[in-house]
Amino acid sequence: MAIFSSASATAGTTAARQETTKRAGADVRAAQALAKQKSLERKAKRAKISLGELTMFTQQLSSLLVAGLPLVQCLEALQDQTEDPVFTIIIRDVRLDISQGNSFSSAVKKFPRAFPTLFISMVEAGEASGGLAEILGKVAGYFESTVKLTKKVKSAMAYPIGVISLAIVLVNVLLIFVIPVFAAMFKDFGAKLPLPTQMLIDLSEFMKHWFWAVGLGAYAVYWLTSKFIATPKGRRIKDKALVRAPIFGNLIHKIALSRFCRTYATLIRSGVPILRTLEITAAASGKVQVEDACAEIAKHVSQGGQVSEILASNEFFPPMMKHMVKAGEATGNVDGMMNKIADFYDVECDATVAALTSLIEPLLIVFLGIIVGAIVMAMFLPIFQLGAVAGGMG
């Protein structure tokens, strides 16, 4: 009996320990989950949502509102199906704010990094006009066209960036690891090396011993350039230089014109006042040329002038655009004309991206071939000379 009692006591102690361990593990998991939730909530206050995700959110919200669901219920449905945990918290906070009697626009204003100024202003216009669902549909269309254009430009840039990066890595590998082997071999010959070979060996020696300094210098130049571009003067110089760039300048110019026209047309058609429209368009443009033009237009319009008059005097805007806007003003359909101009430049951007892609590929291949070929020829020049000397002696 004593043995059985001892065994029972041991089993009871083991079970108690296991129960304590389970409770401790549950407490730890609960504490971890709470810490993670608090971390996500802190991130939500300053999080920036990608334009693609915001586009999907706006499209779905517009569709649910058109279907007749209340706004709070729409947000609750979107909160449940959003995969991004940070965006889920943002939608939850917006929904709770609306449930407490606040407007949708005032709720999204609390997350200025997640919701751009254009979105907030369009929501305000939708609330004022009573057509929130329709205006959100226009916002979704605007975001979608912007995302498509951005993807096309990124896809066009991916190939040249990849090839140039590969060329830099390949050249550094040759200079640091391959050429020193040839240099040691040529040193045993005792003969004077050709000038291209000697220059390449000197460069290899420099890179071998000072590669870290070159990398640090490149990073310092990048950091200083980034800091300068962040200043108003640096940003102005950068934007003007980009538009005048020999290969991509034309594309950047067309993208800026398309964004200006699309943003202006979307806001005006949604009932946003023209001065507020110009303010938002300037902020969304990302180009100082458009910002300057919008400030000038706002000043001119407030004095009773027309938009086309400023466009006609600004060389950043092409003549075709000036005439179409003037025709839109004459017919009372400026937003329609602006949309047509944006569509035209979107097609132009597509054609320019396709042309650049087909042009850049062979140019980069030739560029890479010339660099690698020059290195190989410089390394084999001494061998060719020795072969010629040996053949002459024979």
> Which residue type occupies 270?
S
CA distance 121 to 110: 13
* Same-domain status, 168 and 284: yes
Residue at 31 is within a domain: no
The 10s digit of each residue's pLDDT in 230-245 is 898 998 999 899 888 8
Residue at 17 is within a domain: no
**Residue 392, pLDDT score:** 42
DSSP string, 301-341: HHTT--HHHHHHH-TTS-HHHHHHHHHHHHHT-HHHHHHHH
State which of 115, 131, 164 marks the end of a domain.
115
The 10s digit of each residue's pLDDT in 161-212 is 888 888 888 888 888 888 888 888 877 776 778 888 888 888 888 888 888 8
64 pLDDT band, cuts 50/70/90, is very high
Residue closest to 314 by CA, chosen among 340, 288, 336:
288
Q: What's 79's domain CATH number?
A: 1.20.81.30
**Residue 362, pLDDT score:** 84
* Same-domain status, 167 and 303: yes
Percent of the chain with pLDDT over 90: 15
Is residue 132 within 8 Å of residue 104, measured between CB atoms?
yes
* Same-domain status, 110 and 166: no
- Euclidean distance between the first and the last CA atom of the chain, given in angstroms as a whole number: 109
> Which residue type occupies 147?
V
* Same-domain status, 361 and 285: yes
* Same-domain status, 200 and 87: no
Residue at 83 is within a domain: yes
CA distance 341 to 258: 7
Residue at 13 is within a domain: no
Q: Is the confidence at residue 96, as pLDDT, over 90?
A: yes
Residue at 39 is within a domain: no
CA distance 311 to 338: 13
Residue at 219 is within a domain: yes
What is the rounded average pLDDT of the residues 241-260? 87
> Residue 159, SS3?
helix
Q: Is the confidence at residue 393, as pLDDT, over 50?
A: no
* Same-domain status, 207 and 266: yes
User: What does the DSSP 8-state code read for residue 115?
Assistant: S
Long-range contacts of 255-258 (CB under 8 A, 24+ apart): 255/149, 255/153, 255/345, 255/349, 256/285, 256/286, 256/287, 256/289, 256/290, 257/317, 257/318, 257/321, 257/341, 257/345, 258/149, 258/341, 258/342, 258/345, 258/346, 258/349
* Same-domain status, 191 and 81: no
Domain that holds residue 285: 141-394
Domain count within the chain: 2
- Tokens (6 digits) for 236: 């102005």
Q: Rounded to whole angstroms, what are the CA distances from 120 to 108, 135, 251, 338?
A: 7, 11, 29, 22
Give start and end residues of each alpha helix (H) in the chain.
Answer: 2-46, 51-66, 71-81, 85-99, 104-108, 117-129, 132-173, 179-189, 195-229, 232-243, 249-269, 274-285, 288-302, 307-313, 319-331, 334-393
State which of 97, 115, 133 marks the end of a domain.
115
Residue at 202 is within a domain: yes
Mean of all residue pLDDT scores within the chain:
83
* Same-domain status, 253 and 354: yes
Is residue 92 within 8 Å of residue 72, measured between CB atoms?
no
* Same-domain status, 210 and 358: yes
390 pLDDT band, cuts 50/70/90, is very low
**Residue position matching structure tokens 């979307």:** 266
**Residue 11, pLDDT score:** 56
Residue at 205 is within a domain: yes
Tally Cβ neighbours within 10 Å of residue 128: 14
- Tokens (6 digits) for 344: 């035209």
